[in-house]
Amino acid sequence: MDGLVDLVTFELLEQVADRGTVTAAAAAMGITQQAASARLARAEQALGVRLVTRAVTGATLTEHGGMVLEWATPVLEAARRAEISLEALRNQDSSVVIAASQTIAEYPLPGWLQTLRATTPAVQVRLISGNSAEVVEQVRRGAATLGFIERPEVPKDLRSAQVGADELAIVTAPDHPWAGRTISPDQLASTPLVIREQGSGTRATLEGWLEREGRSLSVPAAELTTASAIRAAARSGVAPAVLSIRAVEEDLAVGNLARTRIDGPEIRRPFTALWSAAGLNPTARALIDTAIAAETSRSHR
């Protein structure tokens, strides 16, 4: 595999997409900015394309960089699952297998687990991440003890409890004509968007909202499987994007993305815990209680 991009470089691209600068990405990974820049330069030389565009305001992935990140994300997720699984192997008696949709796995779940571990330090979690449809199947097959999904439809053959709620936000590059404006449902429906793939809770929520408004989704400008890749595409000006507000809060705060409001009801969806009729062990029940408490606290801010 000489000359190809390695896992560390994949993670560096992910961090640049998330944090908006090479310096911040390097700090998050515990390396110097010089080391990060050198690694990106080597990758660009090996691939023969630019991966990152740097400007005074920060750094964004190029179209090629976004493509590489899209392809690399399953590799990164597999490596992280393996790391979690190997750690759980040492603590089988106190481990619990959780399947979580990608938004939940990336944003609220780490905080829920941190809170749970503060009171139950021995808890070990093996995480399976995928879209909401994949999570449902993992719980049905018994591959996961507990699942968390983010789509409105809840399967009737599984037990469930709503633990919180989430809002979807329409975001664009700061110089897009929609930036800071309010648009109509017609404009949203007729415009090609950068969105998640079929089976994701984000896609199902958006399509359900448009259907209730008497409209349907236009053919997407791009279908991507991760929030990082969608944010990078939106920042690069590919098209407006629709994502969880949690996925774009930092970008909105620093001006890497701009929000567009909708002339109509908010686009919201529940966060739901799922489990089989066989029931839950005490650790899984404690995690549900922790999630409900954390989401209730967030809603009261």
Mean pLDDT of 211-225: 95
**Assigned CATH topology for domain 72-164+270-299:** D-Maltodextrin-Binding Protein; domain 2 (3.40.190)
pLDDT higher than threshold 70 for residue 92? no
Q: What is the structure's pLDDT at 81?
A: 63
Is there a common fold for 7-71 and 72-164+270-299?
A: no
- Whether 250 shows a pLDDT value over 50: the answer reads yes
Nearest to 224 by CA among 235, 210, 215, 211: 235
The least confident of 67-71, 88-92, 129-133, 138-142 is 88-92
Alpha helices in 107-240 (DSSP H): 108-119, 132-140, 185-190, 201-212, 227-235
How do residues 58-79 score in pLDDT, each as one tens digit?
899 999 999 999 888 888 877 7
Residue 122 has pLDDT above 90, yes or no: no
Distance CA 105, CA 227 (A): 11
User: What mean pLDDT, rounded, does the chain reach?
Assistant: 90
* Domain-wise residue ranges, the chain: 7-71, 72-164+270-299, 166-268
In the CATH scheme, what is the code of domain 166-268?
A: 3.40.190.290
CA distances from 203 to 60, 120, 191, 196, 259 (A): 24, 35, 15, 6, 18
Q: What percent of the chain lies above the pLDDT cut of 70?
A: 93
Enter the CATH code of domain 7-71: 1.10.10.10
